[in-house]
Amino acid sequence: MAPKGGGGIGTTMASVPLLEGVPGKAVQGLAARGRIRNFRKGTYLCHQGDPADDVFFLVSGRIEISSISLTGTRVLHATLDEPQFVGELGVLGDLPRSASVLTLEDSDVWIAAADGFLEFLGDEPAAARSLLRALARQVHAHEAFVDDLLFLDLKGRVAKRLLQLATPSLDALPEDGVAIPAVTHADLASLCGGSRENVTRVLSEFQRRGLVERDGRRYVLKKVAGLGKLAGL
């Protein structure tokens, strides 16, 4: 059973980049400001447009972050299964939620009020700097996505997203045979800026060429170097 606050959750929080360099006592104090709740699979932690009144920290389980575009299209932003903060940037900007957060399996999530989290940032400059770095990385990721739309064809974008689902950084590509988390063709299409039908055709071509292999609901990357070449890496 997951801890209800403080102690164990503080140790888990201390291991994430956002709290790197923050004294352990301060991390434990932050942990004590919130509590852990268990959410069943298929539960929304928040909806796009909601007030950003809370900060979340995924302790265990798996969640999905997605939004609805102005045209009504669902856009998948990320699936997370490692301990990390969620929703902290909306709190920092005092903005409505830009995306919805849905549990993909039973998940333990720490929740704390926005005011307490902001007080913590004011007291801990190291955490504030880490949050600014996270914001900068997010801006960089959006700029990189625009560049991909301009300079990579759909095959290149699909190849790049498959690789990004397998590794946290494209600076070091994974080994052949790595399996990526389960992702639907529709979700992959939203990550690539293409239609589901065209992404399905690209994946079928990748399978014929031996670049990927289907294993149930997951894809196995069989020729990482070939995918990297298509992605311009």
For position 164, what pLDDT does the model report? 82
For position 134, what pLDDT does the model report? 75
Residues 93 and 129 in one domain: yes
Residues 29 and 119 in one domain: yes
Residues 138 and 166 in one domain: no
Domain boundary residue among 115, 146, 177?
Answer: 146
Residues 133 and 167 in one domain: no
Would you put residue 183 in left (φ > 0), alpha (ψ -120 to 50) or beta? Answer: beta
Residues 133 and 33 in one domain: yes
Domain boundary residue among 129, 146, 163?
Answer: 146
Q: How confident is the model at residue 4 (pLDDT cuts 50, 70, 90)?
A: very low
Residues 171 and 127 in one domain: no
Reported as a single tens digit per residue, the pLDDT across 75-101 is: 778 888 889 999 888 888 788 998 999
Reported as a single tens digit per residue, the pLDDT across 194-214 is: 888 898 999 999 999 999 988
Structural domain boundaries enclosing 205:
153-230
Q: How confident is the model at residue 3 (pLDDT cuts 50, 70, 90)?
A: very low
Domain boundary residue among 127, 146, 165?
Answer: 146
Residues 112 and 207 in one domain: no
Q: How many folded domains does the chain comprise?
A: 2
Say if 2 falls within a structural domain.
Answer: no
Residues 71 and 29 in one domain: yes
Residues 6+ apart with CB under 8 A from 172: none
| Better-predicted residue by pLDDT, 33 or 90 | 33
Residue 165: which CATH number? 1.10.10.10
Residues 161 and 119 in one domain: no
Helix (H, G, I), strand (E, B) or coil at 16: coil
- The mean-pLDDT minimum among 5-9, 108-112, 119-123, 179-183 falls in 5-9
Say if 212 falls within a structural domain.
Answer: yes
Reported as a single tens digit per residue, the pLDDT across 14-30 is: 888 888 888 888 899 99
Residue 29: which CATH number? 2.60.120.10
Alpha carbon separation from 66 to 73, 75, 206, 230 (Å, rounded): 10, 5, 26, 27
